[in-house]
């Protein structure tokens, strides 16, 4: 097997481990974040109220509502992401260490590729998290079947694809740039074989940069994916229209609703993602020699 192909296979495998770690660690705060974005106005007073009401009315397992979609899909999503990032780095420069600008470009390219799988995973997750413990709540398979039957692949399963891509491009440019910057700083002090806590810290820094780079677009994505009907017009038109609608309803602050639990979530979730990826990648490197 060619070396570049084996590298990509290793990145696919390591990415799946990183993705599973991300979902298991971060899902409860992701549920709070999504409900902050999509809940009817006045339903909750803030993130803590979402947490207490959800646990009181629906039980603690409701914080993991919608987890099946990302847990089933995240292996593919993160495998694609890390593999696309590795390929993008090799395309940009096959020689030596990339500059941070080149890292940002590779991250943006990986984010664009990642949107292909991230969009349906996010759509089903949001629609599950948008159910509040009523008797009429639906299981994931019912939601998936209805979306396909009523709207088909493009307007149903892939709803929100263009806004997901618009989110992923700056998000992963910021994500990988912050991660690599932090990792290089630690490497100067501790050498190339970083301790696990340094990988966790670097991943957490990347996770914070991810959301600060893209959060308003995440709000728009969640609202579009939860709507009963698909958006109309071109992607630029409906994204701009949704941004205006959020500002009209809640002011500029509405574009950042749910950001606090999201940032808190990003610290353990992104940290565990990269730690799991790097440790798995190092193991595979020692096993395969690539």
Residue-wise pLDDT tens digits, 157-189: 999 999 999 999 999 999 999 999 999 999 999
What average pLDDT score do residues 125-137 get?
Answer: 87
> How sure is the predictor about 143, in pLDDT bands with cuts at 50, 70 and 90?
very high
**Cα separation of 84 and 82, whole Å?**
5
The listed CATH number (3.40.640.10, 1.10.10.410, 3.20.20.150, 1.50.40.10) that belongs to domain 3-288 = 1.50.40.10
Residues 227-257: tens digit of each pLDDT = 999 999 999 999 999 999 999 999 999 999 9
Distances from the Cα of 283 to the Cαs of 17, 271, 286, in angstroms? 12, 18, 5
Q: Which of 61-70, 134-143, 176-185, 210-219 has the lowest mean pLDDT?
A: 61-70
> How sure is the predictor about 2, in pLDDT bands with cuts at 50, 70 and 90?
low
**Cα separation of 290 and 272, whole Å?**
23
pLDDT in the model for residue 222: 95
Instruction: Indicate if the pLDDT at residue 15 is higher than 80.
Output: no
For 280, other C-beta atoms within 10 Å of its C-beta total 19
Alpha helices (H) in the chain, listed in sequence order: 3-38, 47-58, 68-92, 100-129, 140-152, 161-190, 196-226, 235-250, 259-288
| Domain range annotation of the chain | 3-288
pLDDT in the model for residue 6: 78
Instruction: Indicate if the pLDDT at residue 209 is higher than 70.
Output: yes
Instruction: Indicate if the pLDDT at residue 60 is higher than 90.
Output: no
More reliable by pLDDT, 242 or 197: 242
pLDDT in the model for residue 152: 95
Burial class (CB in 10 A: 0-12, 13-18, 19+), 95: exposed
**Cα separation of 5 and 114, whole Å?**
19
Tokens found for residue 132: 């509040």
> How sure is the predictor about 69, in pLDDT bands with cuts at 50, 70 and 90?
low
**Cα separation of 175 and 103, whole Å?**
10
> How sure is the predictor about 219, in pLDDT bands with cuts at 50, 70 and 90?
very high
Q: Which of 26-35, 140-149, 269-278 has the lowest mean pLDDT?
A: 269-278
């Amino acid at each position: 097997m060619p070396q570049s192909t084996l590298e990509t296979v290793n990145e696919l495998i390591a990415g799946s481990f990183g993705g599973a770690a991300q979902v298991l660690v971060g899902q409860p705060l992701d549920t709070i974040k999504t409900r902050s974005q999509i809940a009817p106005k006045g339903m909750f007073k803030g993130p803590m109220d979402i947490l207490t009401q959800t646990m009181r009315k629906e039980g603690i397992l409701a914080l993991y509502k919608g987890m099946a979609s990302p847990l089933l899909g995240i292996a593919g999503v993160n495998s694609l992401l890390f593999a696309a990032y590795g390929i993008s780095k090799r395309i940009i420069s096959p020689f030596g260490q990339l500059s941070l600008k080149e890292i940002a470009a590779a991250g943006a390219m990986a984010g664009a590729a990642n949107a292909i799988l991230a969009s349906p995973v996010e759509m089903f997750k949001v629609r599950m998290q948008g159910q509040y413990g009523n008797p009429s709540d639906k299981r994931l398979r019912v939601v998936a079947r209805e979306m396909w039957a009523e709207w088909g692949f493009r307007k149903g399963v892939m709803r929100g694809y263009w806004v997901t891509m618009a989110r992923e491009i700056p998000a992963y440019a910021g994500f990988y740039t912050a991660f690599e910057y932090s990792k290089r700083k630690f490497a100067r002090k501790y050498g190339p074989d970083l301790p696990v806590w340094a990988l966790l810290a670097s991943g957490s820094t990347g996770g914070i940069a991810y959301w600060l780079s893209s959060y308003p677009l995440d709000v728009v994505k969640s609202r579009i994916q939860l709507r009963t009907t698909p958006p109309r017009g071109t992607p630029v038109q409906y994204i701009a229209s949704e941004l205006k609608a959020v500002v009209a309803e809640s002011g500029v602050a509405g574009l950042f609703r749910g950001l606090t639990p999201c940032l808190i979530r990003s610290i353990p979730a992104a940290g565990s993602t990269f730690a799991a990826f790097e440790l798995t990648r190092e193991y595979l490197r020692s096993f395969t020699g690539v």
